[in-house]
Amino acid sequence: MPLITQSEAARILGVSRQFIDELRHKKPRPSYFVKDERGIWQINDESPQWIATVEKYARKQEQKEKKQKGTGKIKDRATVDSSTREAARKAARAAMEKAGEEEISPELMRKSARAEIELKIYKNEIAKQQAIQEEVKTKEMKKEVAPVALMRHWWSYRLNFIQRIYRRPGEIEAELEALFIAGEKKLATQKIVRELEAIIAECEKELIADMTKEGYGMPEGERKE
């Protein structure tokens, strides 16, 4: 059966990695969760329940976008800038027509000079913002920076890691109790350490694999041999 990682599943649904981990711990566990030959939980993307879940979240996203579009909260920056420039041109034409009808006073000349300076500042600011946007796009293409949405996705690994750390002692409580009753305190401590180390290693491995898939490599100083 074709399997995808839990990280890929989170990206498909548009949710955090932590949310997928919470789904895996639900009772009963969704049928699309299966373990691969390494014993790692994966998603069977041909499972009818998984397909239904994907369709459900796709509908939710579509409704959300329609709602945002309906409220008029999303504005096109280019449209706003264009309307601003058009308003400035109309105001300039009106001032010129008025100036032609009356004698040009020192006050009018000062206002005209000030308007010209403000227009230059406005144009310079627009050019500056466009240059910044182009620089960011270039860095994104070179994989030197990552989009905000992708960074939020990767940040969810930290939340997932914390939740798994908190849950693990309770999941192995019976084994620990048996060891303590048997007087094997050292073995109990070693058990806890091994379990926590395994969680750290798995979370790190999943995060690195997800970053690599997106084309982002780990810094040389942080790579582990």
206-221 pLDDT per residue, tens: 888 877 877 776 655 4
- Where are the chain's structural domains? 3-71, 77-141, 148-222
86-121 per-position pLDDT tens digit: 655 565 556 555 555 445 567 766 777 788 788 878
Omega cis (within 30) before 2? no
3-state SS assignment for residue 10: helix
182-203 per-position pLDDT tens digit: 999 899 899 899 988 888 888 8
Percent of the chain whose predicted confidence (pLDDT) is above 70: 70
Q: How far is CA 92 from CA 78, 106, 109, 110, in A?
A: 21, 17, 13, 14
Tell me the C-alpha distance between 15 and 13, whole Å: 6
Q: What architecture (CATH level 2) is domain 3-71? A: Orthogonal Bundle (1.10)
pTM for the model stands at 0.36
What is the average pLDDT value for the chain, to the nearest integer?
A: 77
Residue 123 is predicted with a pLDDT of: 78
- Does 79 score more than 60 pLDDT? no
Q: For residue 19, give the amino acid letter.
A: F
Residue 181 is predicted with a pLDDT of: 93
Sheet containing strand 3-4, strands side by side: 3-4, 41-44, 33-35
Compute the half-sphere exposure of residue 156: CA atoms within 13 Å on the CB side of its CA: 22
